[in-house]
Amino acid sequence: MYDVIISGAGPAGSMTAYICAKAGLDVLLLDKATFPREIPCGGGISVRSEKVLRLAGIELPANQIEQELRSLQFMGPDQKPFVFRSSKPLGYTVKRSQFDHYLVKQAINVGAQFVDSCTLQQLESHKDRVTVETERGVFESHLLIGADGVTSTVGRLSGLRKPLNPDRVGVALEVDVPISPSLWNSVLDPSIVYFWFLNIPFGYFWVFPRKDSLSLGVGGMAKQLENVPKLLRGLARTFTTRHGLPPFSIPKIRGRMLLALEYPVLETTNRILLVGDAAGLIDIFTGQGICYALESGFLASKTVIKAVKNNRITKKMLSEYTWNARRCFGEEIRISRTVNNLVHRHLHGFFQVARRLDCIGKVLFDIILGKTDYYRIRRNLLVFAMRLFTFELQNRLLTL
């Protein structure tokens, strides 16, 4: 009988396991994959993520960092790029296989039991415990945390997640292309992340620099994207030509679903709660999911520890997580969806204005650095919307 079983050992699950085990709880962390495992991801982690790790007591060692990121290059449909530069680091790139494995090892070091190659298949919630059936046996615990990603089995079996509306599902594909490190600085600046919004419906093309490779990817709304691998190959070719890079062959393209739920699922049952992608915690505009995975794991574990130590495992007690998570990032995620809609519906206007309006860059940096308060975003949104309106009005008058 464990205090808590955590299904899924991505950043959300490992963070939860680490804090709970460190507080003396009996923790079982399980994952269907065999670790270290690959996962399609740009591997961009913001300074905000690093802050959460530090708050939990986990250092991000230098050998995990591939590149330090300081600038964001944007390009809109007019194909005129512009760069927002930050005087401070905005984040880093990591290799997800190594980063996720490192976090699992931190949880093991403080006493969590880890079982990989162990898919959770069924669960049953009783009055006094939860039983989970896996391919490696049956386990029981007081509490169960679903940290099992976008397709969350725990979310589905517990009834916390409703069936997906295909109109609201995003998809992202990524490919890791090896390049010679000698190209850094001579041809490409390794501190720049590229975001190209080239008529990709509700999505974009990105390039993240790593030590000896580039992570190239495309994300957008699944229903509106056609033949994404072909789109990704075409954009990769454009990128190489534009930057005078030697042509490279594209290895295997990997992809995953991204949830774009109306609202994140932060509600709980009396014994089960969801964290990270399982709870739909993704900023659909910047593509950031790792920091919300870490933050939700952090908040969930605080509630779980309190519930177990006070022997008060009730829905009311677990709702503390719901409230804290809503306060910390629920509103932000909601706003990111509004921003995403606004930007993609007025892509031309957005790029005309963003190029001239410093506050857009500042707000973006604040989101990435975790310094934002959403009132400020809202205030700037209003300024931005007014500029956008004036711009579109001018354009219409000119065409009359």
Ligand X SMILES: Cc1cc2nc3c(=O)[nH]c(=O)nc-3n(C[C@H](O)[C@H](O)[C@H](O)COP(=O)(O)OP(=O)(O)OC[C@H]3O[C@@H](n4cnc5c(N)ncnc54)[C@H](O)[C@@H]3O)c2cc1C
Closer to ligand X at the Cβ: 220 or 289?
Answer: 289
CB of 232 to ligand X, least distance (A): 10
373 burial type by CB count under 10 A (0-12 exposed, 13-18 middle, 19+ buried): exposed
Residue type at 366?
D
Instruction: Indicate whether 274 belongs to the interface with ligand X (CB under 6 A).
Output: no
CB of 225 to ligand X, least distance (A): 13
Binding mask 193-222 for ligand X (x = CB under 6 A): ------------------------x-----
Q: What is the 3-state secondary structure (H, E, C) of the chain?
A: CEEEEEECCCHHHHHHHHHHHHCCCCEEEECCCCCCCCCCCCCEEEHHHHHHHHHHCCCCCHHHCCEEECEEEEECCCCCCEEEECCCCCEEECCHHHHHHHHHHHHHHCCCEEECCCCEEEEEECCCCEEEEECCEEEEEEEEEECCCCCCHHHHHHCCCCCCCHHHEEEEEEEEEECCHHHECCCECCCEEEEECCCCCCCEEEEEECCCEEEEEEEEEHHHCCCHHHHHHHHHHHHHHHHCCCCCCCCCCEEEEEECCCCCCCCCCCCEEECHHHHCCCCCCCCCCHHHHHHHHHHHHHHHHHHHHCCCCCHHHHHHHHHHHHHHHHHHHHHHHHHHHHHHHCHHHHHHHHHHCHHHHHHHHHHHHCCCCHHHHHHHHHHHHHHHHHHHHHHHHHHC
CB of 276 to ligand X, least distance (A): 2
Instruction: Indicate whether 190 belongs to the interface with ligand X (CB under 6 A).
Output: no
Q: Which of 21, 23, 107, 258 binds ligand X (CB under 6 A)?
A: 258
Instruction: Indicate whether 264 belongs to the interface with ligand X (CB under 6 A).
Output: no
Q: Which of 172, 188, 222, 363 binds ligand X (CB under 6 A)?
A: 172
Count residues near ligand X (CB under 6 A). Answer: 37
Which residue, judged by CB position, is nearest to ligand X in the bound state?
289
User: Which stretch, 184-192, 287-295, 309-317, 344-352, contacts ligand X (CB under 6 A)?
Assistant: 287-295
User: Which stretch, 28-36, 75-83, 136-144, 304-312, contacts ligand X (CB under 6 A)?
Assistant: 28-36
Instruction: Indicate whether 91 belongs to the interface with ligand X (CB under 6 A).
Output: no
Instruction: Indicate whether 7 belongs to the interface with ligand X (CB under 6 A).
Output: yes
Asked if 177 and 214 count as a contact pair (C-beta separation under 8 A), the reply is yes
Instruction: Indicate whether 4 belongs to the interface with ligand X (CB under 6 A).
Output: no
Closer to ligand X at the Cβ: 34 or 311?
Answer: 34
Instruction: Indicate whether 256 belongs to the interface with ligand X (CB under 6 A).
Output: yes
Instruction: Indicate whether 287 belongs to the interface with ligand X (CB under 6 A).
Output: yes
Instruction: Indicate whether 105 belongs to the interface with ligand X (CB under 6 A).
Output: no
CB of 271 to ligand X, least distance (A): 17
Q: Which of 5, 23, 29, 42 binds ligand X (CB under 6 A)?
A: 42
Instruction: Indicate whether 266 belongs to the interface with ligand X (CB under 6 A).
Output: no
**Range 118-157, binding ligand X (CB under 6 A):** 119-120, 147-149, 153
CB of 207 to ligand X, least distance (A): 11
- Extract the tokens encoding 48: 């905000």
User: Where along the sequence are the contacts to ligand X (CB under 6 A)?
Assistant: 7-13, 30-33, 39-44, 119-120, 147-149, 153, 172, 174, 217, 256, 258, 276-278, 282, 287-290, 293
